[in-house]
A = this chain, B = another copy of it.
Amino acid sequence: MRAMLIVMTPGATDEEIGRVERRIESLGFRAHRLAGSQRTAIGITGNERAVEAAEFEALPGVSHAVPVTRPFHLVSRETHPDDTIIEVAGRRLGGSHFTVIAGPCAVETLEQTLAVARRVQSAGAHVLRGGAWKPRTSPYSFQGLGRDGLKILDRARRETGLPIITEAMDTETVEMVAEYADIIQIGARNMQNYSLLKRVGRTKRPVMLKRGMSATLDELLMSAEYIAAEGNRQILLCERGVRTFSSHARNTLDLAAVPAVQALSHLPIFVDPSHGTGRRDKVLPLARAAAAVGAHGIMVEVHDQPERALSDGPQAIVPDQLESLMRDLRAIAALLDRTL
């Protein structure tokens, strides 16, 4: 399922080449020698478990190793060619469906949440978002309402009929979140919190896994593989911007990740233009771009009084903006034969 090429130095001896081949075979793989005019390379195939370049680069006579296939398989399109489609409260996510997830960054009060939820529903969005626990850079910032936040979301669901997505921040609270949420979100800072990934892999809820701030797509898919390996295959991925030198937005939204993920994996891929830019004036343009690039949906922060938001107010759009955005998204999705 995976393969690797070991490239020898120009002066590698037969003994050194033989030692590499024996090591490959001692690990249970097959070695294929490729003699060039200047140097020899050795292919490795037949390996079901991961081979690490590092296992060979330390041997004498080895120049470097190049992996030639992907280290994940449950989430790989090579092994599962068809798109994964996830059903949430009667709605289908992924495939030819374009889904809009909207709501406040944090659940602050019942009134605020209901007010926003009603506007989200009347605008035609499909899923309500809202954080009951908030990972904050500063220990002195608002950290979320916890279980009370979950109850408020539950109430908003009953009032609007919208399914809800909310973040689980640690293994202790996964169970509680799974009890209330229709979709469990794993935030960017926790993309490689493997204990948490394994724990949500053992729930029955769909999981949205956000890309870490400096994660490659291989790492994102390996983290999805952690969840899948525990038995939960209902995984949505989400591009939310990466950290670069570029300082005009909070993060650099990497929209080319959308077609790249779609080539590598069968999982749906969403875009979060709110965290991806951090500024309200860029959210609408980038939300339209996300639809145009072919994402399966967007997740966007909406607040009816963003000036008063306790968390990330400046990136929240107002309900009127959501309504106008929905019109644009419908038109763009239609071009790509997606239904909103």
Contacts and interface: CB of A to CB of B under 8 A. Distances in A.
A113 B328 CA distance: 38
Interface string A6-46: 01001000000000000100000010101111110101011
Chain multiplicity (copies) = 4
Nearest to A331: B335
B66 A41 contact: no
A92 interface: no
Nearest to A19: B307
B242 A256 contact: no
Contacts of A32: 34-36
Determine chain A's interface SS by DSSP, over half rule.
Answer: mixed
Nearest to A291: B292
Interface in A77-98: 78
A152 B291 CA distance: 39
A68 B217 CA distance: 23
A151 to B, nearest CB: 21
Contacts of A290: 289
Contacts of A253: 254-256
A71 B140 CA distance: 9
A136 interface: yes
6 contacts: A3-B7, A37-B46, A58-B306, A170-B193, A170-B195, A244-B244
